[in-house]
Amino acid sequence: MIKTVLIDDEPKALSVLQITLNELFPEIEIATIAHSADDAFEKIIDIKPDLIFLDIAMPKESGFDLLRRLPNLNFEIIFVTGFDEYALEALKFCAIGYVMKPIEDRELVIAVRNAMKRILEKKENERNQQLLQNIMNPGSLQNRIGIPTESGIDFVSTEQIVHCEGLDGCTKVVLNERKNMISSYNLGEFRKLLEPYGFYASHKSHLVNTLHIQSYDREGILKMKNGDTIPVSRRKRSEFLERIKRL
């Protein structure tokens, strides 16, 4: 799925674009919409989209003002506007696409297909770069693993992961930023990925990053630095204490 943000101050234009994209491109996930540059600024930073559809002429701040204000432009852009004179300046931002209102399906399809090609190329390059990094630095806490989620693959450094909890056929991954991810990998897959990085299976349903352990009590409960509590199964307590001594 390609995470997408739609930005336009005209509700009707947003609605038409949303319906058209849903019909023509089921692989595009419309994560959110925004009616102003100010509203879009926060949403883009929070969501980190792959693609944005951006109206140029909006009240207070234009689409170009928004782009200048963002800390980085690591997404593809398709400008949507009714003003032809903006085309040349749009090219200065290396826009992958530029469609005029009212939007014609043919122009939209060309722009979106080109954007999707660039997005997939970028993701493949990121995966290859991460593979090289992991090979050159085995066991490094800065290494990142690709975690399959509903929206695609998120790359996360192993040191960010506090613990993993097995659910029905999937895994909850808890990060130190208090953000949770649900992955289609089962807990066994995460054990194979993370045990070389100091993770320990304290229980059949739990995998903990030993670097994030704050304390361990006599009842067999681990307290993590983020405040979460994790059980250590009775049969693993002796083994776990031996493991902790070596840290």
The tens digit of pLDDT for each residue in 204-232 reads 999 999 999 999 988 889 999 999 999 99
| Closest among 136, 237, 134, 240 to 193, alpha carbons compared | 134
Among candidate residues 113, 89, 86, 117, the one with its CA nearest the CA of residue 100: 86
Share of the chain above pLDDT 90, in %: 40
Q: Show me where the domains of the chain are located.
A: 2-123, 144-245
Question: What's the confidence (pLDDT) of residue 91?
Answer: 56
Q: Running DSSP on this structure, what letter comes out for residue 197?
A: G
CA-CA distances (angstroms) from residue 110 to 79, 80, 103, 191, 199? 13, 13, 12, 43, 46
Provide the whole-model pTM. Answer: 0.54
Q: Which two tokens stand for residue 95?
A: 């826009």
pLDDT in tens, 103-137: 889 989 988 998 888 888 787 666 666 555 555 56
Residue 175 three-state SS: strand
- Class of the domain covering 2-123: alpha beta
* Architecture of the CATH domain 144-245: Beta Barrel (2.40)
* H helix runs in 5-104, sequence order: 11-24, 37-47, 63-69, 87-92
